[in-house]
Structure 1
Amino acid sequence: MRQAGFVVGLAMVIVLALLVDWTLRVLAVNSKLSGRQTYQDMVEYCFGRWGLLASSFFQGAMAGGGMASFIVIVGDTLPHVLGALMPSVGQSAFGRVVFSRRFVIAFFVVFMAYPLSLYRDVGKLGKTSAFAVVAMCTIIAAVVMEGPRINPSLRASPEKSLQLANTGVFQAVGVITFAFVCHHNSFMIYGSLRKPTLNRYFEVIHLSTAIATVASVTIAVFGYVYFGEKTQGNILNNFPQDNFLINIARFLFALNMITTFPMETLVAREVIESLAFRDQEFSMKRHVWITTGLCAAGLAIGETVCNLGVLLELTGGMSASFLAFILPSACFIKLSSSSTPLYSRKLVGHWLCIVFGVTVMLLSTVLSIRHAARAGSGPDAAASCWR
């Protein structure tokens, strides 16, 4: 919302949520039409080997970007919480090491996220998803309640009015798309239903998208109203370290990310398995090695990059746009080509969706890379944690 402006940002969240809801349903219909049960298999059925390689690359990039982003969030939140809970320990030499960003990230990834990532079935993560919803509600409540109570110097300047429209529209589209896109693991979700029918799956899509939209709009509106141009990529970083309720929110946010991390690991691992080992039987040794390598790579990126906004923009602009807006409609057009002319009225919406996806993908990626290269220390500045 800071990048796009209040009115434009609000409209974009709602429009993109509706578009994601629609393309998720298109993807489910494509699965039925093609008779394929995974995203990669469906794309390969439609576009052959090159389609498989393209979808695998963007699925892997989306999952990898998600894993790295979740690790950055852990680094943004838990050191603050530990320092506030045990200030005397934090000021000691031992505390400065143990409570440091890099140590905290490594500890929680190795001892929490990594064991959960070893699960093969996404259904095993159902309880962690329920926890994520509860944590999300708590985080939103904390931001809404504590925003007016903090030092006025940390909030938006009362002399400056909120921007109704701003210039960072395409970067904002990347962030919003990243927030909503789950196409790369939607087949896993469908397969985890007790009774996997299209109608039941559509209900899941509608309910999930509605919850995500309400949550996104609420925290975007209140966060931007409170902090204006000072709004950071992680809204909790706008609050002081010693705020009790915000520290609870930070702790829950970190746990939420740690338990969401395995969802992305499952996707990345499936991409590697389908590309390199699709004709081989399952091997537990290979499963462990792939999982370990993925977690180590995500950890390395998360330890190096501090700017959450840059990761969300790049991942959302490049990968999420391709997976959510281009591929579902392209596959539907291909699957319908035998019975429907390519330029019939029935397919107009799909062609428009592809054009929108390509535009967002190109502009958002270019602008995000330029944004990441920008020097400085403000909320828009890319930053390395190795300093």
Structure 2
Amino acid sequence: MKQPTEMNHLNTFTEDDNSSSNSNDYGYQDKKVALGGPYSTDLEAEIQNFLPDGTLGKKKYETEYNPGSASFGMSVFNLGNAIMGSGILGLSYAMANTGIALFVILLVSVAIFSLYSVHLLLKTANEGGALVYEQLGYKAFGMPGKLAASCSITMQNIGAMSSYLYIVKYELPIVIQAFTGNSDEWYTNGDYLVLIVSVTIILPLSLLKNLGYLGYTSGLSLLCMVFFLIVVIIKKFQIPCPLPILDEAALNETVTKVINSTLSHLNRTAVDYSEDVCTPKYVVVNSQTVYAVPILTFAFVCHPAILPMYEELKDRSRRKMQGVANVSFLAMFIMYLLAALFGYLTFNIHVEPELLHTYSKIYKSDVVLLIVRLAVLTAVTLTVPVVLFPIRTSVNQLMCASKEFSWVRHTLITVVLLAGTNALVIFVPTIRDIFGFIGASAAAMLIFILPSAFYIKLVKKESMKSVQKIGATAFLILGFIVMTGSMTLIILDWTSTKNHDGH
């Protein structure tokens, strides 16, 4: 899942070219802040033993004197960990509301745009002399640029935390019901379970100073998603269509969807239930289509991890790192496409915003799905503290950079962040809204707007009339269009939904 990406937010503490290297390879290697700096006292207390020592005192772009140690294959695996996240669970929902053909076009487009932004980042890093996302922002636009990068990464992290807790909210009740056979008890209420897990497991882990061992959850998360993909493909050939309706609520939902689908085709006077439900659509446009692009951008964002991985790449070159990105994005593109396609073909219009939860309508006690749920629940529960760590560190640096480490402040920030995330999960109706809002705002900033803006500002050897600068400018404009357009349509959908059903 995306937890390693968020750990790179630790790298926000240097402010000039001569600062010590401070990069993170998703929990595999990092470099401490230079001793004696204004942040060193607080940071050493915060990140002591979290990451191993590295070489100090070198400029980030002096690659010939600071060779990396990560092989091409390991870098591909690490970047795959960065890309893969909970966003994969929402892709079938996006396909159900765009159709197969339109979804594939959007998926290819977002993947290509993401790779282009990686190209811009790598070239900007070489020209700007920084291998930290926030540091590029500082070099390009001063403190406003650094804050824009920092806030975007923090929002992305909070969105990731929320999506992980949504998985706990959706899946843990099903696991408990499978073991107890009860469905109406308080301990099968997802809201209560999120609070219990947060207080008893996530909070104690988040309060630890040493979180290094949790970095291994990135590999576990990727394995869980591969296992999940295999199960999705297998279940496509085991679940009949039309789906067996297990309860009255599901039946009412099916009737409502069929009626809405019928009304949307004015040239049809009747609808064949089995045909409408079981025939995949190639182009679909409805009120939920606006969530497709934000869900896809949320799924592909990994850009704060690109530069630290670039620094750790053995025999590094910009072309080699671009090759790492190409292979990683291609692998994740295939996984995303397969998960979305087979999930959609299995459930068609019944797909929910979180695909794994959709299977509970058909299987109440399937052993394989139970194993998948337990694996995913374990991975995301252990991931939340890793994602929370860099957010807390960033808050510390913005508010109390020069102060001594304080357990009271450390605990207070942790509790506030965790409480706020729990509130989002409990009161926001669906994970779709988190995917949509974060994808339209923070992910659009990290993929489209910031890389192109940094490139235009820092790459001085190319004139504004050059093909490269014109392309970056067009990419910047496209980013603003994607962000403002998606946010506007999502807000309109929220308003329309509230007016019609009161939620």
- Evaluate the alpha carbon distance shift between residue 218 and residue 20 of structure 1 in structure 2; reply closer, same or farther with a 3 A threshold: same
Q: 1:86 aligns with which of 180, 192, 200?
A: 180
TM-superposed deviation, 1:12: 1.6
Q: Is the 8 A contact 1:170 1:360 kept in 2?
A: no
Contact 1:23–1:325 (CA<8 Å) still a contact in 2?
yes
Corresponding residue of 2:325: 205
Cα distance in 1 for residues equivalent to 2:396 and 2:101: 44
Deviation at 1:56, TM superposition (A): 2.8
Structure 1 residues 98 and 50: alpha-carbon distance in aligned structure 2, compared to 1, 3 A threshold: same
1:144 aligned residue (209, 223, 233): 233
Separation in structure 2 between the aligned mates of residue 203 and residue 284 of structure 1, nearest angstrom? 44
> Given the alignment of the two structures, is residue 229 of structure 1 paired with residue 349 of structure 2, yes or no?
yes
1:258 maps to 2:374: no
Q: How many residues are treated as equivalent by the alignment?
A: 374
The TM-score with structure 2 as length reference comes to 0.67
The one-letter amino acid of 1:159's match is: E
State yes or no: 1:345 paired with 2:467. yes
The AA in structure 2 aligned to 1:368 is I
Q: Is the 2:313–2:321 contact (alpha carbons within 8 Å) kept by the matching residues of 1?
A: no
- Alignment correspondent of 1:165: 283
Alpha-carbon displacement from aligned partner over 1:56-81 (angstroms, at most 9, x marks no partner): 33222222122112111211111111
* Matched residue type, 1:80: I
Give the 5 Å matches for 1:317-328.
317-328=440-451
Whether 1:273 and 2:396 are equivalent positions in the alignment is yes
Deviation track 1:336-372 (CA, whole Å, cap 9, x = no partner) reads 1x32212311223212221221111011111112223
- In the alignment, the residues of structure 2 paired with residue 285 and residue 324 of structure 1 have an alpha-carbon distance, to the nearest angstrom, of 36
- Equivalent residue letter for 1:154: L
Cα separation, 2, equivalents of 1:5 and 1:274: 45
**What residue is the counterpart of 2:154 in the other structure?**
60
Checking the alignment, whether the CA contact within 8 Å between 2:291 and 2:432 is kept in structure 1 is no
Instruction: Say yes or no: does 1:373 pair with 2:495.
Output: yes
- Whether the 8 Å CA contact 1:67–1:265 is kept in 2: the answer is yes
Post-superposition Cα deviations, 1:162-198, rounded to whole Å, max 9, x if no partner, equal: 222222554211000001102245456567x485945
CA drift at 1:5: 1.6
Aligned residue in 2 for 1:76: 170
Q: Check the 8 A contact 1:122/1:188 in 2, yes or no.
A: no
Which has more helix, going by share of residues? Answer: 1
Match of 1:354 among 462, 476, 488: 476
Q: Is the CA contact (8 Å cut-off) linking 1:67 and 1:264 kept in structure 2?
A: yes
CA RMSD of aligned residues (A): 3.1
Aligned pairs (5 A) from 1:283-298: 285-298=408-421
Which range is displaced more, 31-40 or 147-156?
147-156
> 2:136 aligned with 1:47, yes or no?
no
**Is the 8 Å Cα contact of residues 154 and 391 (structure 2) preserved in structure 1?**
yes
Structure showing greater radius of gyration is 2
Aligned residue in 2 for 1:38: 132
TM-score (structure 1 length as normaliser): 0.85
Q: Give the drift of 1:293.
A: 2.1
Instruction: Write the distance in 1 (CA, Å) between the matches of 2:106 and 2:305.
Output: 23
Offset, 1:202: 4.3
What SS does the aligned partner of 2:98 have? coil
Unmatched runs of 5 consecutive residues or more in structure 1: none
> Judging changes above 3 Å, is the alpha-carbon distance between structure 1 residues 26 and 122 closer, same or farther for their aligned structure 2 residues?
farther
Please give the per-residue CA displacement for 1:16-58, whole angstroms capped at 9, x wherever unaligned: 1232133234324433433334322221221123223333332
* Structure 1 residue 213: Cα displacement: 1.5
- Of 418, 433, 436, 1:310 maps to 433
Separation of aligned partners in 2, 1:110 and 1:24: 38
Is the 2:295–2:439 Cα contact (8 Å) retained in structure 1?
yes
Letter aligned with residue 474 of structure 2: L
Q: Sequence identity of aligned pairs in percent?
A: 25
In structure 2, how many angstroms separate the alpha carbons of the residues matched to 1:141 and 1:108? Answer: 28
